Structure 1
Amino acid sequence: MYSHLPSLNGLRVFEAAARHLSFKMAATELQLTPTAVSHQIRNLEAHLDMPLFIRHTRAVELTPAGQTLFETSRQVLRQIDQTLTGLGVGRQSLTINAAQGFASLWLAQHLPDFQNRYPDLRVSVSQSDEPAIEATDINITRQSPATSPPALKLPEQFGLYASPAYLARKQTHQTLMQVRHQSQPEVINWQSWQQAYGTFREAQLIEFDREDQLLQACLAGQGLALTSSLLVSTQVENGWLKPCLPEKVLSGSGYQVITSADNKRAVRLLLEWLSEQLGITQTAV
């Protein structure tokens, strides 16, 4: 059965050489030498007893038989690869522990883009304001352990945000909203805002335990929120929230990305993706 089939490795080398129409480029892709690629092609041609390439001085082209075999081998190899990916073969896991506000308000909004780019990665996300004790590939927190320099620093500023509905209403007295307990070194609240800018002194104050609660209240038009520009970036981009007094901001501590396995492909890809999304530069590799 299947007595005419050549070796799978030979077909893989042939498919790469036919796709590039270059033994040298196929060798680079497959991490082989051009001589090894040429040897594999000659073995395949000998097995089939027919030429697959017309060899010129600086180029190759497919024979009619080579073109037919290329179209079939490309389809079959792609189907095999998709089947193995579906079975989980070669899939790499990526575990992320992120501060609750960042995980729910930024990462959850943007992670589908990362997963669409790299469908072979299995991503698992947990939420905690403290670095995970168990083995975790990436920790995203407001403070990093002294023994682990951050691979990335994610900057942020604190500003005022409100829904269009809230801004459209004529307010006799402003309703100011903030997070009660902030997990960052400096205290950024309405008191520190008023010390810096002296606005909204006569207002009602509402406090929440978490950033996601604050954001939901802000989206519902319940008041003016003092919150992180990073955490509300998606809502601002979509027009669901608007910055108020954008020229007046307070600098926050931002987030730090700590990795435990920088040489892991999934970690490297996530760091590159975060840098791209936020327009920042990696500080360590």
Structure 2
Amino acid sequence: MRRLPPFAPLVAFEAVARLGSFTAAAAELLLTQSAISHRVRLLESHMDAKLFERLNPGLALTPAGRSLLGELSPLLEGLQRLQPPARMPKSPLRLGASAAVISWWLARRLPSFAKQHPDIALEIVPFVDLRQAQETEVDLRLMWELESTVTDRDDQLILPRDSVFPVCHPRLAGTAPLKDLPLIHKGSVESDFDRGREWNWDSWLEQNDLPPPSLKYRDMGSALAAAAEGAGVALGRSLLVQDALDEGRLVRVLPASASLPSSKVHVVRWYGDPRGPLVARWLVDEARSTLAREDTQADLTLARNS
């Protein structure tokens, strides 16, 4: 009986050897860097040989790695020639996300995706609450989860981390200290139990400065909409409010240096459709581009105040 090496680790090894980087191989194969490392270790165990020398910086193939690559590359190229041209399914790809993410961030980016990928039709499915997010049948889910609960998986990508800070309409900014401005509360009995301290107003104000909430919005989108209408100050997360900050519909109440890192992260998972990883990677790239503008804005604020 033939003792063949496992195929997935072979593909991971070839990508790392060809690209010279675990990070680049992870991006090409739409996997996490840890998943690539795990597969290479499995192959090294199967071959009973070290395949890479980890340099500082960079990688180098060992003699065993060079020998394996020389045999493997033409085999993979031959398999690729046998593969018929991929045909994308024609049915719409269902992408689920919270109504707040859709209305405050995703919607304006979808036309760009359609131009880049005219062969992929997207159907956007809004989630109102966590139960609906978990029960609605979709092909991808963009979820908002505590980072401490997110495990390493091959069918998901994690978007760059948000920060949290108070925002309001420009006409409210500077009219009074934060403690004297009307505060917009967000949350519900179901959602309050698993949110970090950055979402509680007592993390931003002294306890004796906190008025009792007279109005609480159940979702982030409604709270931000109220802030944009001048109703008060809301706690926003950077991915959702960056466009509004750029356009002047919202402004920061405090300096950028006062922002708190979010204890939650956006995670996009796909469920078998071959188009899923491509859309997931696009979402990660768009989020990275959005949050890069936050860093630029913070640098400009710091320069003006220096």
Aligned residue number for residue 145 of structure 2: 143
Deviation at residue 209 of structure 1 after TM alignment: 1.3
Is 1:256–2:264 an aligned residue pair? no
- Between the aligned partners of 2:186 and 2:282, the Cα distance in structure 1 is 29
Aligned to 2:209: 201
Q: 1:177 to 1:258 in 2, by over 3 A?
A: same
- Which 4+ runs in 1 deviate beyond 6 A? 144-148
- Structure 1 CA distance, aligned partners of 2:182 and 2:208? 9
Which residue of the partner structure matches residue 196 of structure 2?
186
1:242 matches 2:242: no
Quickly say closer, same or farther: Cα 1:106–1:208, change in 2 above 3 A. Answer: same
| TM-score, structure 2 as length reference | 0.53
Cα 1:189–1:134 change in 2 (3 A) is: closer
The match for 2:8 is: none
1:118-143 deviations in whole A, cap 9, x for unaligned?
22221111122334445421111123
Q: CA deviation at 1:207?
A: 2.0
- Partner deviation per Cα, 1:91-127 (whole Å, 9 max, x = no partner): 3521111123223322223222212322222111112
Residue by residue over 1:59-107, the C-alpha shift from the partner in whole angstroms, topping out at 9 and shown as x without a partner, is xxxxxxxxxxxxxxxxxxxxxxxxxxxxxx9635211111232233222
Identify if the C-alpha distance between structure 1 residues 111 and 98 changes in structure 2 by more than 3 Å, giving closer, same or farther.
same
Partner Cα separation in structure 2 for residue 200 and residue 208 of structure 1: 23
Aligned 1:208-227 pairs, distance under 5 A = 208-227=217-236
The within-5 A match list for 1:9-20 is none
- SS of residue paired to 1:98: strand
Q: Which of structures 1 and 2 has the bigger CA Rg?
A: 1
SS at match of 1:104: helix
1:272 and 2:260 correspond? no
Letter in 1 for 2:95: I
TM-score normalised by the chain length of structure 1: 0.57
CA shift in 2, pair 1:223/1:239, >3 Å: same
Q: What does the per-residue CA deviation read over 1:186-237, in whole Å, with 9 as the maximum and x for residues that have no partner?
A: 352212333xxx4992657442111121111111112111121121122112
1:72 — aligned with what? none
Q: State how far apart, in whole Å, the 1-side matches of 2:136 and 2:202 are.
A: 38
Higher helix fraction (1 or 2): 2
**By how many angstroms is 1:147 displaced?**
8.1
Alpha carbons of 1:227 and 1:90: their partners in 2 closer, same or farther (altered >3 Å)? closer
Q: Which residue in the other structure is 1:84 paired with?
A: none
Where do residues 120-131 of structure 1 align in structure 2 (5 Å cutoff)? 120-128=119-127, 129-130=129-130, 131=133
The structure-2 alpha-carbon separation of the partners of 1:237 and 1:118, relative to structure 1 and needing over 3 Å to count, comes to same
Match for 1:249: what amino acid?
Answer: S
Given that 1:148 and 1:258 are in contact with CA atoms closer than 8 Å, whether structure 2 keeps it comes out as no
Structure 1 distance, partners of 2:110, 2:139, is 16
Deviation for aligned residue 1:179: 0.6
Contact 1:92 1:120 in 2 (8 A): no
- SS of equivalent residue, structure 1 residue 236: helix
Name the CA shift for 1:147/1:169 in 2 (closer, same or farther; >3 Å). closer
Question: What amino acid sits opposite 2:270 in the alignment?
Answer: T
Instruction: Work out the number of aligned pairs and report it.
Output: 191
Among 144, 155, 158, the residue aligned to 1:153: 158
User: Quick one: percent identity of the two aligned structures?
Assistant: 22
| 8 Å Cα contact 1:174/1:204 also seen in 2 | no
- Change in Cα spacing, 1:236 to 1:204, as seen in structure 2 (3 Å) is farther
Question: What is the identity, as a one-letter code, of the residue corresponding to 1:179?
Answer: K
Change (3 A) 1:164 1:199: farther
Distance 1:169 1:218 in 2: 15
Query: 1:97 touches 1:140 (CA, 8 Å); kept in 2?
Result: yes
The secondary structure found in structure 1 opposite 2:257 is: coil
**Secondary structure of 2:121's aligned partner:** strand
